[in-house]
Amino acid sequence: MKQKTYAGLVVKVNNKVLLCKRNATGSYPGMWSIPGGKVEKGESTLDGVRREFFEETAINISNEELNFVGLIPRHNRDGSEIKGQMYVYLLELNKQISPDLENAIDGDEHTDCGYFSEEEISPEKCGTNLHKLLSTIFDKSQDKL
């Protein structure tokens, strides 16, 4: 099976990150995740993350500075096989932005969104790989203090 390329975005405001709860019928049902998805043929991961974020949240981040922070393996639905890699970018902001799931092109992929501190996030809620990456992001923030 050919590996697919995905791109996702962590939005960090102060000591919290934006997570969206996956719907019950798609991939990773009921899990809290970051907005993101498959990168299209001929598209860079940076362009893909900007497009996917807009499609899932109705928020345009085309002029925002994004920083690459890591890779997360993406598994098939039963978790038995890695189907690709997700390139994860970070957007640090001074104030929270609110996804508009009702008007987003792919807003139905999520049922809820919210901002969470490191203490509120667990591997059971968001998966082991995303949890590890978020912990690294929080740790780097502490280095700046």
**What pLDDT digit, counting tens, does each position of 43-90 carry?**
999 999 999 999 999 999 999 999 999 999 987 766 778 889 999 999
Backbone dihedral region for residue 28 (phi beyond 0: left; psi -120 to 50: alpha; all else: beta): left
Q: What is the domain-level CATH number for residue 135?
A: 3.90.79.10
Which residues, including other chains, have CB under 8 Å from residue 13's CB and lie 6 or more apart? 92, 93, 94, 95, 96, 115
Mean pLDDT over each residue of the chain, to the nearest integer: 92
Cα–Cα distance between 6 and 87 in angstroms, integer? 6
Please write the tens of the pLDDT for every residue from 89-133.
999 999 999 999 999 999 999 999 999 999 999 999 999 999 999
- Total number of domains constituting the chain: 1
Backbone angles phi, psi at 102, to 5 degrees: -65, -35
Higher pLDDT, residue 79 or 135: 135
The angle subtended at Cα 64 by Cα 126 and Cα 102, nearest 5°, is: 55
What's residue 145's pLDDT?
38
Best CA proximity match to 34, nearest among 81, 63, 4, 66? 66
DSSP-derived 3-state class of residue 85: strand
Other beta carbons less than 10 A from residue 59's beta carbon: 18
Give the domain range for residue 24: 4-143
Higher pLDDT, residue 46 or 145: 46
DSSP-derived 3-state class of residue 108: helix
